Amino acid sequence: MNETIATIATPTAEDLAPRVLTRPQHRLSRGDVSAHALKVLYRLHRSGYLAYLVGGSVRDLLLGRRPKDFDIATNARPQEIRRLFRNSRIIGRRFRLAHVFFRDAIVEVATFRASPEAPESPNDWHEGEEETAEEETATEPLPARPEEDVYGTPAEDARRRDFTVNALFYNIADYTVIDHVGGIADLERGVIRTIGDPDQRFIEDPVRMMRALEYAVRLGFSVDPPTVEAIERQQALIAEASSSRLTYELLECLRSGSAARIHEAWRRAGLFSRAFPDLPLDTDDSVQVLEVIDAQIAAGSPLADASLLGGFFLPRFLALAVEETDGNGRVNNAQLLARLRAIIAPAATSMHLSNQALHLMHQGLFTLTKMVRPPDRGRQVVRISRQDYFPVAWELHGFAARLGLIPAATRQGWERALQRLGKGEQPVDEERSERRRPRRRRRRRRPTA
């Protein structure tokens, strides 16, 4: 049985008919698709184009899970998409796609692409989101590539995707699910399998190795043995992946609610320490931080990126703070700050963290030295809680308390003091913490063609 599927998934099987599930044969219902995405799908369809829901949303809806976002693929060219939607903008350079803007959401619409573009463009996934200024400069000038080479058929578009379960299409014209790669069978059996030769696909884009394990954990799937074996062979390549894409993948993991288990899978596969050599995560405490983060995500509290990343440094920092405290409880601030900088700086550089992220992490961690005892003066609480980094300090303080690194009574003392100020539930300023993400320069760029 495996062999049949492998044949279907081979990129050379270009003219094999796809497997199609008609409306009654699957559980994906229009009612589960966001209203914005439906609007875009229908307008494309009514204008005579193919309009498919693609990627993670189809996978998740077929599994009865709630998708994170709804991506669309079409045979309309970016300029045509642009003309159809006044509220849209073309982004990216090589593989241009359009963002259709709504008040509270962005729907990404991509033109079907041909395979296999990856060797020159692993950064083209999540166009516009993750390249840092440095990398952009490094990749310019871009190799000119005729448009006709870039765009492809739906079958080609399915085959250039990473895993079979990520390559299913939902066709708005007749509500069918279209499968060019054996994804339906893999969804049913709960298997993550690369499309095509796994070694080749990981050499094209090593980040796929991390993604394979991440999906397996998140969906409760197993990884197809040939895919596992290819990861064993290619693990060292992860060190060469773009740092901004690795950081993006790490944040996805931290926000997923399964960070501890994903980390464990990455670590066992030899990927974690190669991808993030400067993150201290070998002590038990650090792994427990991930469990604390998972518990908070499960409880529905969103955490700032600076808190998620700062968590890696928390146990080590608190140990340093003890070392830098004298017998009278006085902290040598200058010395402690210097040591804090020294543990964060290598990661900040190798992971391309923004100055804002760095600022929030430094100050968020450092502020904990002022919060190791319940507050004794209201003024102190007012002063600290007004700082831009306080929400990060507060989240890190929560991690420390749950880890038993700060007494529960201290946490409660601060909670009460903040409640008196009406700040107990202060949300993190996402605008600011968002800025730690690599800058979105591409979006602002005008299309060159």
| Residue 208 binds to ligand ATP (criterion: CB under 6 A) | yes
CB of 443 to Mg ion, least distance (A): 17
Q: Which is nearer to ligand ATP, 56 or 424 (CB)?
A: 56
CB of 156 to ligand ATP, least distance (A): 13
Distance CA 87, CA 79 (A): 13
Of 60, 124, 157, 162, the active-site residue reads: 162
List the one residue from 56, 116, 374, 413 that touches ligand ATP (CB under 6 A): 56
Residue 427: asked if its preceding bond is cis (omega within 30°), the reply is no
At position 144, the amino acid (one-letter code) is A
CB of 170 to Mg ion, least distance (A): 14
CB of 233 to ligand ATP, least distance (A): 18
Task: Label residue 226 exposed, middle or buried (CB < 10 Å: 0-12, 13-18, 19+).
Answer: middle
Residues 281, 286, 290, 293, CA torsion sign = negative
**The one segment of 95-103, 204-212, 359-367, 400-408 that binds ligand ATP by CB under 6 A:** 204-212
Q: Which is nearer to Mg ion, 65 or 442 (CB)?
A: 65
Active site residue 162: yes
Residues 58-87 that bind ligand ATP (CB under 6 A): 68-69, 71
| Residue 207 binds to ligand ATP (criterion: CB under 6 A) | yes
* Residue nearest ligand ATP, CB atom distance: 56
Active site residue 69: yes
Residue 212: name the closest of 247, 180, 166 by CA: 166
| Residue 186 binds to ligand ATP (criterion: CB under 6 A) | no
Distance CA 282, CA 280 (A): 6
* Residue nearest Mg ion, CB atom distance: 56
| Residue 166 binds to ligand ATP (criterion: CB under 6 A) | yes
Q: Which is nearer to ligand ATP, 30 or 218 (CB)?
A: 218
Q: Which is nearer to ligand ATP, 46 or 68 (CB)?
A: 68
Active site residue 285: no
List the one residue from 161, 193, 274, 397 that touches ligand ATP (CB under 6 A): 161
List the one residue from 125, 202, 389, 399 that touches ligand ATP (CB under 6 A): 125
CB of 424 to ligand ATP, least distance (A): 32
Binding site for Mg ion (CB under 5 A): 56, 69
CB of 384 to ligand ATP, least distance (A): 36
Give the residues lining the site for ligand ATP (CB under 6 A): 55-56, 68-69, 71, 125, 161-162, 166-167, 205, 207-208
Q: Which residues are part of the catalytic machinery?
A: 69, 71, 162
